[in-house]
């Protein structure tokens, strides 16, 4: 059994925002039981679980992990990129006319 780790405590700012949602009775019972076993109330338990899941989801979408063989191929492609195709040149031209860079 692992000890409960309160990640929310480390976020140094006041709790001013609210989130309201409905929950199925069986899910609520399971959360309350797990919270009690962890020695925290169901609100702390739920916020920590949601926060941990949110951080994991963001990390999974922002980070790419490559196997060694893929790592080598990726950096080889960066070192020697292929020549731009006509479609790529057209896309860059379209981008220049439709997107304003600052």
Rounded Cα distance, 80 and 58, in Å: 31
CA 60 to chain centre: 6
More confident residue, 45 or 101: 45
Distance CA(15)–CA(17), nearest Å, equals 6
Measured CA angle at 83 (ends 77, 87), to 5 deg: 115
> pLDDT tens digit string along 38-75?
999 999 999 999 999 999 999 999 998 899 989 999 99
Q: What is the pLDDT of residue 102?
A: 74
């Amino acid at each position: 059994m692992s000890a409960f780790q309160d990640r929310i405590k480390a976020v140094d700012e006041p709790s001013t925002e609210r989130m309201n949602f409905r929950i199925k009775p069986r899910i609520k019972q399971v959360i309350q039981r797990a919270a009690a076993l962890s020695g925290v109330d169901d609100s702390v338990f739920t916020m920590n679980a949601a926060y941990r899941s949110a951080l994991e989801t963001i990390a999974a979408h922002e980070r790419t992990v490559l196997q060694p063989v893929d790592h080598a191929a990726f950096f080889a492609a960066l070192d020697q990129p292929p020549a731009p195709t006509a479609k790529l040149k057209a896309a860059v031209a379209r981008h220049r006319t439709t997107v304003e860079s600052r």
